[in-house]
Structure formats: structure tokens, C-alpha cells
Amino acid sequence: MEWEIREERFKEERIPALGNRFLVGNGYLGVRGTLEEYTKTQLAAVNLAGIFDQVGDGWREPLNAPNGFYTWLKVDGIIYRLPGEEPEEHCMELDYRHGIFSRKTVWKTERGMITLKTERFASLDQVHLCCMRYCVSADFHGEIEIFTGIDGDVWDIHGPHYGRFEIEFPDRGSRMTAVTHGEDQSVTVLERFRTDFPCEIRERSFDKKAGHQIAFVSDGCSRYTLEKAVVVFTSRDEQWDMLRGEMILRQFERLGYEGLKQMQIQCWENLWKYSEVRIEGDEEAMASLNYSIYHLLSIAPREGKSLSIPARGLSGQTYKGAVFWDTEMFMLDFFLFTDPPAARKLVKYRIDTLEGALQKAESYGWKGAFYAWESQEGGRDACTDYNVTDVFTGRPVRTYFRDKQVHISAAAAYGILRYVELTGDDSVLEEGGLRAVTECARFYDSLLLKYLDRDEYEIHDVIGPDEYHERVNNNGYTNRMAKYVLESAADLLERYPYLAQKLPYDAGTLTERFRDGAVHLKLPVPDEEGILEQFDGYGKLEDASLDEVRGRLLHEKEYWGGANGVASHTKIIKQADVVTWLSLFPEDYSRDIQKKNWEYYEPRTEHGSSLSSCMYAMLACRCGMAEKAYPFFLKSAKADLTDGGKEWAGLVYIGGTHPAAEGGAYMTAVEGFGGLRFGKNGPEVKPCLPKGWESLQFYVCWHGERYLIKIEKEKWEIGKV
């Protein structure tokens, strides 16, 4: 398999999409797949994990660091850059086996041809470091200038965040510290370069940019190489200062670009050893799936406290850099199966942010932990009450994601419980995990409603995964997850009495309440056709087809949900909802019921969220419908490889990478097609491979052991490694 994606020729309109597709990252930062000469206009960005700022009433969003890759080329006073000077040849590549981005561009100048080849990576070994190589060759004698430096005029959606810049020029490099005027956060970028040719070097700073002008005369046959290291640290990083930055730069001086690149290759090879999924017989599936895995590996936090993965990874400020249920329900399994310490970090994020969840619950008058729908550091909810802008009036629309999407707490609890179940490492429970799960159960307990004349509890006024129908009663998915949390919390309190004792509650009373809640909580039951009603009254909504509903749109960016949305009063749903429930709890209903619900809901699903397809794929596999699952699987695996994903919700830009779809594709491959389950003695499989797949092979961790699983059509092997 080729571990490369390539884009030939330059098309200006593809710049935003390629910025996502060719991203390199290391969990600390993500460098968009943009060219060295790009500025904020082309959405160039070095997006940072876990550091946020708010300007005025704008949305609070993560910071983009000053761009230390900023470099351009000048011949005879003309800057050769894209977009701008039409190239003779242009190509971009991403070696996603090793996280290395490269480009080649050839321009025809008045004097002759000039070729630019660059390469860069975000170091996995040292996450504060990025490296770049910039090679110029010209088939003419002439004066050439390169400008290389740091661009502080960054792309912001709700900015500008930086109000103050400090610039210095140490030997062969620049330093820029940018300070935000909103929350006084600072980001420092150090760059150091080296050249292998005689040149004149001059410092320059202009328009929030600082760097060096490197002038030389080309001899018509040589290659002129500039190597550069970029170090980034922020006011959120503990024990970081210039001195530490300088030490990393010295490593670059010692090893050079090539030495550091070899380390990068080694680090990625180590990661792939147990992450790669092999599929014989279907190159496209294998390549797309491993490309998806590449993204997950590039954005997983490795250093730093209390970090998780934002919904758009590290591809920019979209979705406010916030963590959603996407992490636990769609991405966590990949890390649990391949790298449990990374999974532990994700789970710890929810434990560390419990305080924010307790405060949120209290602010709404509930008990326990109501986790943030869009979680930023400390568990603060970045979701606003007006999260969509109406395309017709330009006015903010009241949305209820923040206050009514209560299933988020179940996702937080699910992550912790699943981690303990699959790793056997219950130390997280001691480190606050038991408290967090208990608080989630207290939250659901406080949401329960009871009619005096009925023996059932209900949960009203929520939004399930299908966000187009707001403020509904008894959403099946939400109630099922609440039941699971109540049951699991009761089990934990009984299994860990010494931890339960430390809680500020009477464990016995809580256990009883939780059990009672779990037993009596209303869940939809299949109707005579076997269909589970997504929420009370769903069955009475207009049964218009997807095309009909789409045809009613008055504007292509119009929001489908909310008070006036085209889908709200119809049965058209945004994403898998009942199907998510059934794919998580297949034991709840027979295969026949699962299948009926799949067939009922699929044509009524817009798949307006990239989280939808994989859940349909998973359930189709569970129903033995591998061929039906396959296109949904491929769509999920190619979420960032194909054009056409939704980029707008009303007037809000939501473009970026789609890690939940990527994690979902992985889940479908190993748990869907592979049929992976965990029994008392470890992993088991019940495969259901699609037609073209001759074999499927992957590693999986369970209770401290690693297993290699090889599946062929009719047989399989599971061996401890």
C-alpha cells in the first residue's frame, strides 16, 4: 500500500480542503496543509491544543500560534508564490506513514525555471518542535531572495486575539511572543535556520512578521537548501521558558533536518507497529482506514495535563476547539485497543473537568455532573445559547444544544467505564473516576420525572444525537444511556465500597435510588412493525422524503433544525439516533428488530453529521449486512479524503478534519466487520467481512496484554503477542 496522498496541480478553490487533508500534527499542535508562503487569507494555521482566548463577545476559541514556517521566494523583484504566479508544475504530498508534508512547485521566470521543494513535520518525539527543509534550484544565474520568518498575523475566526508582539533576533533566527488582549495568554515561537550556501542575511520585521531576508546568486546548477526548526510554547505550558526552547534548537543544530527527520520516522514506525490495520483484497479501504488512523494519531494529546481531542482535531478554531461526545463514543475505542495510556489521558480529561460539570448542573438547577456540550479547559462550556446564525436575517438563533443535550454526561461516564472494563486498570476510579460516574448518575437521577399514576420515570425536554428535533421527551438513546449510567454507578458503588465511602453521600441510599431509576426509566418499545420511536411523538411527524425536505430549502446554508428548520416537523433526522443506541447495545433487541430499525431510519437520515455513517455501518454489520455496511464505512473512512462534507451550519463555518468519523471507521473495521468483542477471557471475534476482503488483521490490547487478530473469510486466529 502507498502511504501517501498527492494533489497535482494548483487550484485556488481547493486551498481550505487541502489545508485539512494534508495536516501534520503531534497532539500539541496541528499544522494545516498549507504552503509556506500562505497567510491567514489561505487559512494557514498552526493550531494549538488546550489554550483558548476570547475577544469581546466573540466565541472563545483555541489559539493559532504565529506561523513559524512563513517563507517565500523572490527573483528579480517578483515574489513567486501561490496563489499569484501561475506555476508550470505543482504537487503536494503527505506521507502519512511518517507525518511528513512536502510540496514541489516549478515556476517559469524571465530568466529561466526555478524549482522549490519543501518538506516539513511536527515532531512526535518533541512535541514543541517542528522542522522544515526549503530547497531552491534554478537553471539560471541570478539573484534570488528568500524571506523566512514568523508570521504573527494569524487566521482567527473570532479574533484578532493577539494584541501585543515582542520580537527579537537571536543569531540566525527570530523570536516572537504574541500576547492576547482577551485573556492575557502568550504564545512564543522561536525559529532557527541554517543554510548550506554563501548568502547575505538581513533581519526584517514588518506587518506582524519577523524574519530574515536571505540573498544569494544562483549558479545555474546547484541546489540551495535552507533548514529550519520552529519551537512553540505557551503560557499554559508548565516549566517552559526560552532556555528550554533554546535547548531544543541546539538539538536541531546538532542533528540537522535529516537527523530529526530520521527520529520522526522512527517514532511513527513505533506507533504504526500496533496501530496499522491490514486489509487484504481492498486497497482503497485499507488506505483510507489507515489515513483515518493517521489523523487520530496526529491529534492525540501526549503531553500536558487535562487534554482531550477536539471535534475538529487540530485543524483550526472551528467548533471552538472544544471536546464533544465525539471523543468517548467514536474515538476512544481506537486508543483503548492500540494505546491504553493515550486512552487513559482522554478519560482523565473528564475526571479533571468534573468541577465544571458540577457547576453546570447546579446552574441549571440539577444535581450531579452535567458535562459541557462543547468542553474547553476546566470543563467550561463553550457552547452558547445562540449557536447558529440564521442565513436570512443574519440574526443568532436560539439553539438548545448546551442546555438540552444531556446525553453528554453519559458519554463521559461511558468513557471511564469502558476504560476500566477493557484495561482492567481501576486506578482511574480511585483518581476521581468513581466520583465522576456517580455524579453523572446523580445528574440523571435528578432529571427523572414521574407521573403520580404511572410506575415509570421519564426524561423530558432533551435533544438526542439527532439535533434537528429539539426539546423532545423520552429520547430513546438518551434514556438508554441514562439507564446504563444509573446501573453502572450502582454496580461501582457496590464493587468499590472503600471508594464509595469517601463520597460525600450515603452510598447505600444512592445505590438504591440508582437501581430504582434504572429499572423504572421508560424506554421506547418496538411497535407492531418493530420500530422504536426515537422520542415521544416522532411517529406523528410528517413522513416526507429526504429529497422533498431538501427541496424545501430556500438557501443552501440554511439550518435544518430548530424552530423554523425544514426537518424539525418531519421525520427526517440529522444523524444516527436509535441506530446509535442499537449499535451500542445490540443485546437489547433481536437482530430482526435491529434490522427493521436500520431499514426504517436510514432513508430518513440526512447524515448531516459526519458521526452518522459509522453508526449505520456498525449496526449493519451486527445484523450481518456487510454489503450494506460497506459504503457507510467507506464514507466514514474517507471523511477527510473526499470533498463534499458540510462546511456550514447556518452562517457558522464548521469545516475542518473529522476525527469522530475516523474513529468510527476504525470501530466499524474491527468491531463491525471484524466482530470484535471482549469476553471473560479476552478478545473474541464474530467476523462479517465485506465481499472483497480476503483478510483483516489488527492488534488489540485487553487487560494489559496485546493480541494479534487475523481474520480470513471462514477462519481466524487470536494470539497473544
The least CB distance from residue 311 to ligand BGC, in Å, is 4
Binding site for ligand BGC (CB under 6 A): 311, 319, 324-326, 465, 467, 574-575, 609, 611, 660
Report the C-alpha gap between 547 and 549 in whole angstroms: 5
Instruction: Rank residues 114 and 617 by Cβ distance to ligand BGC and give the closer one.
Output: 617
Contact 677, 667 (CB under 8 A): no
Instruction: Rank residues 87 and 301 by Cβ distance to ligand BGC and give the closer one.
Output: 301
CA-to-CA separations, 682 to 158, 205, 382, 678, 709, in angstroms, rounded: 48, 60, 39, 5, 12
Contact 40, 126 (CB under 8 A): no
Tell me whether the omega of the peptide bond preceding residue 83 falls within 30 degrees of 0, making it cis: yes
The least CB distance from residue 660 to ligand BGC, in Å, is 5
Report the C-alpha gap between 103 and 34 in whole angstroms: 10
Instruction: Rank residues 138 and 582 by Cβ distance to ligand BGC and give the closer one.
Output: 582
The least CB distance from residue 22 to ligand BGC, in Å, is 21
- Please, how many CA atoms are within 13 Å of residue 584, restricted to the half-sphere of its CB? 22
CB atoms under 10 Å from CB of 86, counted, come to 10
Would residue 467 show up in a list of annotated catalytic residues for this protein?
yes
Contact 524, 532 (CB under 8 A): yes
3-state secondary structure 162-203: EEEEEEECCCCEEEEEEEECCCCCEEEEEEEEEECCCCEEEE
The least CB distance from residue 661 to ligand BGC, in Å, is 9
Contact 181, 55 (CB under 8 A): yes
Instruction: Rank residues 227 and 328 by Cβ distance to ligand BGC and give the closer one.
Output: 328
Between CA 681 and CA 590, with CA 633 as vertex, the angle to 5 degrees is 55
Report the C-alpha gap between 698 and 66 in whole angstroms: 39
Q: DSSP of 276-309, one letter per residue?
A: --EEET-HHHHHHHHHHHHHHHHHS--SSSS---
Q: How many residues does the chain have?
A: 721
DSSP code at position 676: -
Chain center to CA of 421: 24
Report the C-alpha gap between 624 and 628 in whole angstroms: 9
Instruction: Rank residues 214 and 397 by Cβ distance to ligand BGC and give the closer one.
Output: 397
Report, in this order, helix, strand and coil percent for the chain, each rounded to 5: 35, 25, 40
Q: Which of 36, 37, 61, 467 is catalytic?
A: 467
The least CB distance from residue 518 to ligand BGC, in Å, is 25
Instruction: Rank residues 192 and 295 by Cβ distance to ligand BGC and give the closer one.
Output: 295
Instruction: Rank residues 16 and 281 by Cβ distance to ligand BGC and give the closer one.
Output: 16
Residues carrying an active site annotation: 467
